[in-house]
Structures are given as structure tokens and as C-alpha cells.
């Protein structure tokens, strides 16, 4: 039985920020490192690579031991910065988990609005 054609895309969930650091000092899972690792992996032709980005981290941080593990998630453009990096590196796209995190209690917060505007500006560049 051939398995060719059963996989359309790969979507690793990369919910950490730039410079993410474990308490032991490892930066393997820092956004820029783990996405580069995924980009370097071989894929069959026709299998897309997209990245899951952690919209639920907005305003809360990613729990990393690095100094900006919270502050970068309060800039109003961290998701757009992440999306921009993976697209520049050749990824086929990205998705947000959880999109409704950008609309807490049905009302758009100022920080969420800034993130959405930054993502929209990124989309306008394409």
C-alpha cells in the first residue's frame, strides 16, 4: 500500500517567542531556532509547511526564562513579526491558535486590535 499523497501539509505548533529560553538556558525552542529547524527538514514535493502561532500568548507571555518572554507579547505586533519571519524563510503559511484569543469576551482589546492591524499590514505586503 502506497502512502504517497496522504499528507498535504505539516503544521508544527510553535507557540514560543523570539529568544525563548528554558530555565536551564537552552534556546532550542526559541521561535527563530525551532522554525529554522523545521524549514531545514526535507519534505516531499507538494507537502506544504505552515506554522501554528500562539495568539493565546498575547498579553500573557510564553513562560520562558528569557527577559522578554512577556514583554514581546505586549508589543501589538509579535504575531506579525513571527508570520513575517516564517514567510520570508519560505513557509507556505501560518495559522493562529486560538483566533478567539484576539477577541476576549467578544470585545476587541486594544492589544488584540494592534496585533490584527499588524497582521493585516503584513498581508498587504504580499
* DSSP class per residue in 21-35: --TTS--TTSHHHHH
Asked if the structure places residue 37 within a domain, the reply is: yes
According to the model, what pLDDT value does residue 125 have?
Answer: 73
Residue with the three cell numbers 507579547? 73
Q: 75-120 pLDDT, tens per residue?
A: 999 999 999 999 999 999 999 998 777 776 555 688 888 998 999 9
d(CA 32, CA 34): 6
User: What does the DSSP 8-state code read for residue 120?
Assistant: H
Asked if the structure places residue 4 within a domain, the reply is: no
Average pLDDT over every residue of 34-38 = 98
Q: 1-29 pLDDT, tens per residue?
A: 555 668 899 999 999 999 999 999 999 99
Asked if the structure places residue 3 within a domain, the reply is: no
According to the model, what pLDDT value does residue 88 have?
Answer: 97
According to the model, what pLDDT value does residue 106 have?
Answer: 54
Region for 14 from its dihedrals, namely left if φ exceeds 0, alpha if ψ lies in -120 to 50, beta otherwise: beta
Instruction: Judge whether 71 and 112 are in contact, CB under 8 Å.
Output: no
21-27, Cβ contacts within 8 angstroms, sequence gap of 24 or more? 21/64, 21/65, 21/66, 21/69, 22/64, 22/65, 23/65, 25/65, 27/66
According to the model, what pLDDT value does residue 5 have?
Answer: 66
Q: 61-71 pLDDT, tens per residue?
A: 999 999 899 99
Q: What total number of domains does the chain contain?
A: 1
Asked if the structure places residue 92 within a domain, the reply is: yes
According to the model, what pLDDT value does residue 102 have?
Answer: 79
Residue with the three cell numbers 529547524? 37
- State which residues form the domain around 78: 9-125
Asked if the structure places residue 2 within a domain, the reply is: no
Amino acid at each position: 500500500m502506497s502512502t504517497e499523497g496522504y499528507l498535504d501539509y505539516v503544521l508544527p505548533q510553535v507557540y514560543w517567542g523570539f529568544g525563548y529560553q528554558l530555565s536551564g538556558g537552552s534556546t532550542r525552542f526559541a521561535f527563530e531556532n525551532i522554525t529554522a529547524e523545521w524549514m531545514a527538514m526535507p519534505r516531499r514535493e507538494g507537502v506544504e509547511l505552515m506554522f501554528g502561532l500562539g495568539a493565546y500568548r498575547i498579553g500573557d507571555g510564553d513562560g520562558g526564562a528569557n527577559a522578554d518572554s512577556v514583554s514581546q507579547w505586549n508589543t501589538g505586533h509579535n504575531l506579525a513579526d513571527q508570520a513575517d519571519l516564517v514567510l520570508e524563510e519560505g513557509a507556505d503559511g501560518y495559522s493562529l491558535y486560538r483566533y478567539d484569543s484576539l477577541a476576549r469576551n467578544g470585545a476587541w482589546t486594544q492589544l488584540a486590535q494592534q496585533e490584527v492591524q499588524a497582521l493585516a499590514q503584513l498581508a498587504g505586503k504580499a
